[in-house]
Structure 1
């Protein structure tokens, strides 16, 4: 039953995302304004919209978030530590204030930057990845197995963006240092989100906060260049440091490892 539901989710998610993106790419629509931006944004919400469709079809209930002062702080720190750590190690910290100020101004101020940060990625994706897929994978896999499967699915979903003119991924290129490290970094980031959402009981809000902190810090720090490899190493080290603290947590029908 769970495997069938995951397949259904995957099909719905890809139809909602890849089909509109393919149409935009073939037609060469401008993604920065008008209908192009609207269609692109709705398609980018495919994971969360697919989770909504599955809930409307089956009305499954999931565990509620347990509020604590721990997971919000941990989510922000763990989400920001990769890009910020690479910035510090690379000696770019003095450039950070000016670059961050220009990014915030370009987004229409603090409120504009905050709104874009949360909506473009965290809210549009995490109800699907961490809210729907992750707990169902945990019925079968431990933390590492869930990380590998979900990280790979998350990366695969992003691939069309590298062929869609007007996206940041297209500008970076698929087979560049930025492109390769992006996909590799999704695995330790997936584990960090799993840790915050499940181990610290932050649920989907915790995953959204990690994702938002990561996205925003990526934008605020100066371009890392070769430092993207440092960022990958920092995130991998963080995930490895968190792994020993994992304890069995009951999810669904059995104790997940």
Structure 2
């Protein structure tokens, strides 16, 4: 039976996120300007805000991060490799410098791009998904099961964005190559975050770094079009290559769950 705390988290998260998004959609409010952008940003922070509510309410302890050079390097690599590899394999590498320069300039420079990259998604979500939900799922499931459940929940949480004008998801469309691969990519990405945050002991900061590296690299590389399937394939290969090193039985040690 799933912990009551997970159900409570889910209710708080949906109230904080889906209700404001529904109001924005029904009222036709522009999510990119004025009050609409502020409400949208706060709603997008629903997972992390829900985790904060639960931690304050239940006064539960958070897991300790083990600081080392390994997980930051792994986190950046896991997040950046797949979009960059897809860019190279699709022959779009020559377009990368010009496209990346325009993206950085549009974000107000390097600092603006970095701030947006970390806040829009990584910080606003990962205290919830990887900081609160993931360790509680691990009490019931192994790495693969946790990846399947959390990846599905994470994807479901994004669905309303495809019906909210002004969002990137709405521009891509739900039943397009970009839309389908986005949901499929969440599963190997969830595993990579699980590996960094738990196996390498990077905790929430490690998950944030993976998420930020993935978001930033996807923005900097030119639009992949149908080559986005190459990105998904690379992510699956990366996750599959890491799985045996985690679940293998070592002498005198139990299988990691």
- Matching residue of 1:9: 9
Give the Cα–Cα distance (whole angstroms) in 1 for the partners of residues 228 and 172 of structure 2. Answer: 12
- Matching residue of 1:90: 90
Question: Alignment partner of 2:3: what SS?
Answer: helix
Matched residues, number: 253
CA contact (8 A) 2:129 2:150 kept: yes
Please give the TM-score of this superposition, normalised by the length of structure 1.
Answer: 0.96
Give the Cα–Cα distance (whole angstroms) in 2 for the partners of residues 93 and 71 of structure 1. Answer: 27
- Matching residue of 1:41: 41
CA shift digits 1:57-108 (9 cap, x unpaired): 0010122100000000100010011111100111111110110000000000
Give the Cα–Cα distance (whole angstroms) in 2 for the partners of residues 63 and 178 of structure 1. Answer: 35
- Matching residue of 1:151: 151
- Matching residue of 2:175: 175
- Matching residue of 2:238: 238
Give the Cα–Cα distance (whole angstroms) in 1 for the partners of residues 221 and 169 of structure 2. Answer: 17
Instruction: Name stretches of at least 5 consecutive residues in structure 1 with no aligned partner.
Output: none
- Matching residue of 1:210: 210
Question: Alignment partner of 1:30: what SS?
Answer: coil
Mapping for residues 184-203 of structure 1, pairs under 5 Å: 184-203=184-203
- Matching residue of 1:140: 140
- Runs of 4+ that moved beyond 6 A: none
Give the Cα–Cα distance (whole angstroms) in 2 for the partners of residues 239 and 164 of structure 1. Answer: 32
Question: Alignment partner of 1:12: what SS?
Answer: helix
CA displacement at 1:247 relative to structure 2: 4.7
Cα RMSD, aligned residues only: 1.5
CA displacement at 1:255 relative to structure 2: 7.3
Instruction: Name stretches of at least 5 consecutive residues in structure 2 with no aligned partner.
Output: none
Please give the TM-score of this superposition, normalised by the length of structure 2.
Answer: 0.96
Question: Structure 1's 6 and 255: CA in aligned 2 closer, same or farther, altered over 3 A?
Answer: farther
CA shift digits 1:5-62 (9 cap, x unpaired): 0000000000000000000000000111110000000000000000000001001012
Give the Cα–Cα distance (whole angstroms) in 2 for the partners of residues 17 and 256 of structure 1. Answer: 34
